[in-house]
Structure 1
Amino acid sequence: MDYTALKNLRTSDFEKASRGYRATSHMANAAKEALERRIAVKMRESLSGVAAKSALHQLRELAKDFHYTQVECGVISTALNALVSDLQAAKKKLDAAVADAEGEKLTVEMDGSVTYPAGGDKYQGKTPPGGTVNGVTDETAKALHRQAARFHPNPHYARAQEYADRIAVALKEATEADEKWTPKLRKLRADDDLTVSAADWVDAQKDTGGVRDGADHYLDGIKTPPKDGDPEDNAEWWKHLSADQRDAYISLHPASIGAMNGIPADARDEANRTVLAETRGQYEMKLNAIPKEPSPQFVPIGARGDMTYSQEWLDWHGKYSERKEYLEGKLKGMRAIQDRFDRTGENGLPEAYLLGFDPDGEGNGRIILANGNPDTADHTAIYVPGTTTDISTIGEDSGDTPSDLKRSESLWNESARLAPGQKISTITWLDYDAPDIIPEAASDRYAEQGAPILHNFLEGNRTAHQYASGETGHTTVIGHSYGSTLIGDTAKTAGWNETPIPADDVLVAGSPGMQADHAADLGIDPKHMWAMGGGSDDFIVRHGGYLSGLGDNLVIPTDPEFGGNIMTSDAGGHGAFWDTEGGQASLSLKNQARVVVARYGDVTLDSKAHW
């Protein structure tokens, strides 16, 4: 960039364009939310049949288009702001150098050189003449100029060279900014069709990475997130960012913002939905790149017509089958999340909030999905699943047993029925490496590693609610099977005598043990400790806890001596605590919901805690 261009540069034009793209991003987001959370809901309530299903499908596709528009326009807006930041830094240096030069009666020429007048002591009757110098940016050349200035007879020479060098540095920085951002901005273009494909989302992810790599100076001007900050630190940081700064961080660091405990649920949801869409596109492209499985799988061998695997199939199987199974499993979990988004309004379901997502995180993948906004809820329940829970199966029903995501939905429905007019949020929390097989569930290792993560999330839930609503609301943490063991370790992590577990009630179902003799040993008020057991297979799990040592001194939460409330349960098996039949909640589900909405007197008990 030359001197005249930088001198006359008006960054306001770029800033205006940035505001335009940001406004378009917000408009697209509003349109997406209107389609998903209002229009589709009303359609489900009033229409049915094939035509209605087709219309809902078209609405979902349109919402996908708006989401893509939102993300790309957000990235473009942030890129323009980053360009402005780089150019303004260079222009500020130029303007300061020019002002300083002119203040000393030096002349800055149209090419950025500096002219100085005659001056200094006369030599042989003549005053040393003036001249013009060009700036340099190389440090070695600058050092040579400084050395020459010490011997130059005209004292104006040294000052002119200094200002010319400062101008040259400013021009160099402006040129570098222009050369850096011009190709990046040119790449921020969608294809010319009307379909948002997997490739489009992969391109969007690349666009974000490219802008992020170039936006260092711009982001340096924004207060950085607290390093290893607790939820309170995160909430304070977010609170003091401007709307544009928040948009910039969501655009450039969606995965980081989506995982940050303590900031608002709607911000985490927006960030994680972007991560979900981009990751799904990436995984779909990887899956599509795997060659089709060869056919036939078997070929005849020998005169009798015996069959064996074909060599072609064996080669394919050895190279691709494991990878294919892995990708299909992860994509199944992603589709389950999208399915929950698409069912907002169905049977009264509230909007969903994706509070955490990482297909490879914590071993089995990470999903934290809320029904209803926990930041504004009167009652929030956090459901922690147990052994074998994985992103690939978290949305998959098993026979009559509902999936982990459906369990949370059933709990929301029953809780909302019991507390009309109150806001309810139920959260499925898979953010730890659950044991993959039953023998692994005999080890405390998984619970010990997951406990600090769960504790941080519970603290973040409480902090975000406090910032949004001015109070904390009522929170119940529910552990199924090994999830209850994790809650026990989380209570220990809390250091209960100083910082109790951040929940008002603790409820466990089918617990193999919480590694404590009594609820009070975990800092849990026995009046707010609830436990229920189930049928024959649940009996095996609980006694497995005895044998494995997860039940401390052979004591588990459904034992009277543990000191909690033992709830009546009609669950016929270890996974049946959330069953519904004919739209009616089971007694086990009703009792859980009664705790969730703090209707303690309505809970049916087999025995009370020893208080």
Structure 2
Amino acid sequence: MVPALRKIPSVLTDLHATVTACQNVIFAEIPEKLRNLGKPVVIDPDGRILEPVSLMKANDTVMGAVRRATEADGTAAAELRKLTAEAQGFAQTADDQRRTWESMQTVPAAGAPPGDVKRWWDGLTDRQRETLLFLRTEQIGSLDGVPVEWRDRANRMQLPGEMERIREDIARMTEQQATRNTHGSMAGVPFIKQEEIEKLKQKLAGLEAVLSRLNKPVDPTAPQAHLLKISTDGAGKAIVAMGNPDTATNVATFVPGTGAGLNLIGTDMNRADKMAEAASVYGQSPSTAVIAWTGYDAPQEIFPGGASKDSYADNARADLDRFQDGLRATHQGTPSHNTLIGHSYGSTVIGHAARDGSLAVDNMVFVGSPGVGVDHVRDLHLDGVPPDQMSQRVHATTALHDIIRTTPPGLHSAQPIWQHFGAHVFESNPGTNSVTGFSTEAHSEYWNKQNRSLENMGRIIAGQPTK
């Protein structure tokens, strides 16, 4: 047996012993304290419970046991990753271990220039890369400038753990909610809103949708997907590429708007798939990758303090700019034709990024936009494109009945379909109508089959003229 594998049973034994001890603490503490809930309590003038004091201590004891079990789980997971790497033949010799240790100390920080990251990555041996994949999984998975296939492997390794953590949170909060409902505040557990549990369930559904798309068999309508980022913080973030941006001739990044997060990642991946297919069917693209980029904290509502504010776009612009630089840094062979597409508030995000920086893309597309932070295309910046040519590189469409047309003028500066803005405006179907002449349905119908907007987006992605 490989020496590293011999160490695995002891790691698991230690973990089992710690978790079992923590379980025993919890099982011994909870039933006894719940049996005492019927006893009288004394509350002082400040509202503090004086009796039974032991009930409050029980909560601290249980939480301490949970923390110890969680820490033990994390320690064991790290040790198992290390032993697995050794068992696969990585970092076996003292010299290999030294070089791997040195590479671990020089992993570029989050936000490092993608060109620098790529040069660092190119300087590593395959053994160092594989070891870093196991020992610095989260860092490797999120670094712009690391090739797509390596990021995909790193993030796939994290996905099951993220899903299990959410399941555990749902189970824990559901149990706390039931205990609180049965015994009231004397149960010593915090009040849990059903809304919080539902949000976790939506996150889990999003993670399951990502896993399903990653495992979907490849066919003409569904290229191999690659996971470039995953996070359950806030509303959740995910970056999923339909196809391989490092090898595709045409690459597009799709930025969704208000409400974006893990709860809607299934919809965003589906739209990316449709645009990739449209590029092939209508634009004769030889190979295409379309990326669903939910890589920012999107506003979850319009008012108050949601999509009406610029802050979400301002906070996302640097990450989006760096991501585009990363696509250029890792692409193999002839430079790809790159397009950046923003829908709704996502158009505001890409507009702010192009206003305040210079994006490494060939074209921009604004779909159903409330405004993009500037009043004219010449105030946007794309690498290597002079201001007088921007009107040929910036495209926009808004359905006739899209409710976004009612956005107050100037909320996010000019709407890009306005004539004075100077963009190339392409056609969409009118969309669902209503008694007011506008509808929310029309705001989401740009990717419906037979919608001229989908055909035209496919043509733009493939570098072909619109109809």
What is the TM-score with the length of structure 2 in the denominator?
0.73
1:501 is displaced (CA, Å) by 1.2
* Number of the residue aligned with 1:368: 239
Is the counterpart of residue 221 in structure 1 residue 95 in structure 2?
no
* Number of the residue aligned with 1:576: 445
* Number of the residue aligned with 2:170: 287
1:320 is displaced (CA, Å) by 6.0
Name which one, 1 or 2, has greater alpha-carbon Rg.
1
Is the counterpart of residue 392 in structure 1 residue 274 in structure 2?
no
Aligned equivalents of 1:421, 1:593: Cα separation in 2: 9
Is the counterpart of residue 533 in structure 1 residue 398 in structure 2?
yes
**Structure 1 320/569 Cα, relative in aligned 2: closer, same or farther at 3 Å?**
closer
Is the counterpart of residue 457 in structure 1 residue 323 in structure 2?
yes
Give the secondary-structure state (helix, strand or coil) at the position aligned to 1:429: strand
**Structure 1 310/488 Cα, relative in aligned 2: closer, same or farther at 3 Å?**
closer
1:393 is displaced (CA, Å) by 2.5
Give the conservation status (yes or no) of the 8 Å contact 2:174–2:197. no
Q: Deviations over 1:76-95 (max 9, x none)?
A: 68xxxxxxxxxxxxxxxxxx
1:222 is displaced (CA, Å) by 2.5
Q: Deviations over 1:418-474 (max 9, x none)?
A: 355711000000111111111211111110110001000000011111xx32x3200
* Number of the residue aligned with 1:418: 282
1:240 is displaced (CA, Å) by 1.1
Task: Tell me which amino acid in the other structure corresponds to 2:11.
Answer: K
**Structure 1 204/225 Cα, relative in aligned 2: closer, same or farther at 3 Å?**
same
| Structure 1 unpaired stretches of 5+ | 1-13, 19-75, 78-181, 192-200, 296-308, 396-402, 495-499, 605-611
* Number of the residue aligned with 1:186: 10
1:492 is displaced (CA, Å) by 2.4
Task: Tell me which amino acid in the other structure corresponds to 1:502.
Answer: A
**Structure 1 291/239 Cα, relative in aligned 2: closer, same or farther at 3 Å?**
same
1:313 is displaced (CA, Å) by 8.7
Task: Tell me which amino acid in the other structure corresponds to 1:566.
Answer: V
Aligned equivalents of 2:182, 2:11: Cα separation in 1: 44
Give the conservation status (yes or no) of the 8 Å contact 1:455–1:493. no
**Structure 1 269/571 Cα, relative in aligned 2: closer, same or farther at 3 Å?**
farther
Please show how residues 478-517 of structure 1 align to structure 2 within 5 Å.
Answer: 478-494=341-357, 500-517=358-375
1:275 is displaced (CA, Å) by 0.8
Task: Tell me which amino acid in the other structure corresponds to 2:336.
Answer: G
Task: Tell me which amino acid in the other structure corresponds to 2:199.
Answer: Y
Aligned equivalents of 1:457, 1:212: Cα separation in 2: 28
**Structure 1 530/294 Cα, relative in aligned 2: closer, same or farther at 3 Å?**
closer
* Number of the residue aligned with 2:78: 209
Aligned equivalents of 1:481, 1:384: Cα separation in 2: 9
* Number of the residue aligned with 2:249: 378
* Number of the residue aligned with 2:217: 344
Please show how residues 322-361 of structure 1 align to structure 2 within 5 Å.
Answer: 322-345=195-218, 348-360=221-233
Q: Deviations over 1:180-211 (max 9, x none)?
A: xx9677316899xxxxxxxxx99986534246
Aligned equivalents of 1:186, 1:213: Cα separation in 2: 14
Aligned equivalents of 2:232, 2:338: Cα separation in 1: 27
Task: Tell me which amino acid in the other structure corresponds to 2:370.
Answer: P
1:312 is displaced (CA, Å) by 5.7
Please show how residues 300-315 of structure 1 align to structure 2 within 5 Å.
Answer: none
Report the aligned-residue RMSD.
3.3
Among 288, 291, 298, the residue aligned to 1:427: 291
* Number of the residue aligned with 2:49: none
* Number of the residue aligned with 2:33: none
Task: Tell me which amino acid in the other structure corresponds to 1:374.
Answer: P
Among 554, 558, 561, the residue aligned to 2:417: 558
Please show how residues 34-73 of structure 1 align to structure 2 within 5 Å.
Answer: none
Give the secondary-structure state (helix, strand or coil) at the position aligned to 2:429: coil
**Structure 1 530/380 Cα, relative in aligned 2: closer, same or farther at 3 Å?**
same
Give the conservation status (yes or no) of the 8 Å contact 2:11–2:79. no
Q: Please identify, of 442-451 and 212-221, the stretch whose mean Cα deviation from structure 2 is larger.
A: 212-221
Give the conservation status (yes or no) of the 8 Å contact 2:151–2:227. yes
1:489 is displaced (CA, Å) by 1.1
Task: Tell me which amino acid in the other structure corresponds to 1:484.
Answer: S
Q: Please identify, of 247-256 and 412-421, the stretch whose mean Cα deviation from structure 2 is larger.
A: 412-421
**Structure 1 213/371 Cα, relative in aligned 2: closer, same or farther at 3 Å?**
closer
1:245 is displaced (CA, Å) by 0.6
Is the counterpart of residue 593 in structure 1 residue 451 in structure 2?
no
Give the conservation status (yes or no) of the 8 Å contact 2:283–2:459. no
* Number of the residue aligned with 1:246: 129
1:327 is displaced (CA, Å) by 2.3
1:346 is displaced (CA, Å) by 5.2
* Number of the residue aligned with 1:444: 310
**Structure 1 444/217 Cα, relative in aligned 2: closer, same or farther at 3 Å?**
same
Higher RCO, Cα 8 Å, sep 6+: 2
Task: Tell me which amino acid in the other structure corresponds to 1:209.
Answer: A
* Number of the residue aligned with 1:263: 146
1:412 is displaced (CA, Å) by 1.2
Q: Deviations over 1:549-596 (max 9, x none)?
A: x02xxx32101111110101105111111112xxxx421100000000
**Structure 1 324/250 Cα, relative in aligned 2: closer, same or farther at 3 Å?**
same
Aligned equivalents of 2:272, 2:184: Cα separation in 1: 42
Please show how residues 268-279 of structure 1 align to structure 2 within 5 Å.
Answer: 268-279=151-162
Overall identity of the aligned pairs, in %: 29
Task: Tell me which amino acid in the other structure corresponds to 2:464.
Answer: R
Give the conservation status (yes or no) of the 8 Å contact 1:202–1:282. no
**Structure 1 208/545 Cα, relative in aligned 2: closer, same or farther at 3 Å?**
farther
**Structure 1 528/202 Cα, relative in aligned 2: closer, same or farther at 3 Å?**
farther
| Structure 2 unpaired stretches of 5+ | 16-69, 84-90, 92-96, 383-389, 432-441
Aligned equivalents of 1:365, 1:238: Cα separation in 2: 28
* Number of the residue aligned with 1:318: 191
Give the conservation status (yes or no) of the 8 Å contact 2:99–2:128. no
**Structure 1 579/190 Cα, relative in aligned 2: closer, same or farther at 3 Å?**
farther
Aligned equivalents of 1:207, 1:265: Cα separation in 2: 28
Please show how residues 64-213 of structure 1 align to structure 2 within 5 Å.
Answer: 186-187=10-11, 206-210=75-79
1:343 is displaced (CA, Å) by 2.5
**Structure 1 320/262 Cα, relative in aligned 2: closer, same or farther at 3 Å?**
same
Aligned residues: 378
What is the TM-score with the length of structure 1 in the denominator?
0.57
